[in-house]
Amino acid sequence: MVKHSCLLTALLLALPLLAQNGKNELAFSLGVTASGAAINFGESIAYGVNFAHRFNEGNTQVFLEFPFVAEPSNGVSSSDTSTIISLASIFITPSVRVKFVAKKVISPWLSVGIGYGIREGSEFYRDEVRNTARYDSTGALQFGAGADFHIPLKIWFPIALRGEVRDFYSFTNPNFGTPVSGSGQNNIVASGAFVVHF
């Protein structure tokens, strides 16, 4: 845990070094999640923040981005009384994003990266036994696609709108309290965002 905290701190300290006029983005997103887990999940609201730095001009642009998403409460449905009731997750996955036809009003993009996730199960299982293994961590792959909509709006900084779908695929299953098939979990997040360029 200390090693991962140091890595995250180093990344955050490096962000000001990337600050150059017009080459940075900060996106604030709100969306919903769907899970490809081996057990029934309910939807959760997903909150996201994403810092990105652009490396080049032109119609095809390459960004280094740091997508962060928090899913505060996915309900877990099961007839098995030894399962958790809910699951919360956060992911941060440094990624490379490629934006196409960047000078047009609508610019599609693709993103891929790898990072880290932390999950928290409910304090009690469905049978009211205390969950002694609430917290776990996992590696995560991020695959994303979306589009930026460039609008003529500027409030101190130019602002764009964004629609996106990202899958934060965790390498391991959470501790559901009962054995499940498979060894990984899809965490699909569909979001809308506004993006500040600076």
Task: Identify how many contiguous H helices and E strands the chain contains and give both numbers.
Answer: 1, 10
Q: How many structural domains does the chain have?
A: 1
> What's the rounded Cα separation, in Å, for the pair 50 and 196?
10
What are the per-10-residue average pLDDT scores of the chain (198 residues)?
53 50 90 74 88 95 98 81 87 98 95 96 89 92 97 80 96 81 85 94
Question: Which pLDDT score, from 0 to 100, does residue 168 have?
Answer: 96
Q: What is the CATH number of the domain that holds 74?
A: 2.40.160.20
pTM for the whole structure? 0.83
Domain extent for 110: 27-197
For 57, counting Cβ atoms within 10 Å of its Cβ (0-12 exposed, 13-18 middle, 19+ buried), the class is exposed
Structure tokens at 108: 């599609």
Structure tokens at 40: 């029934």
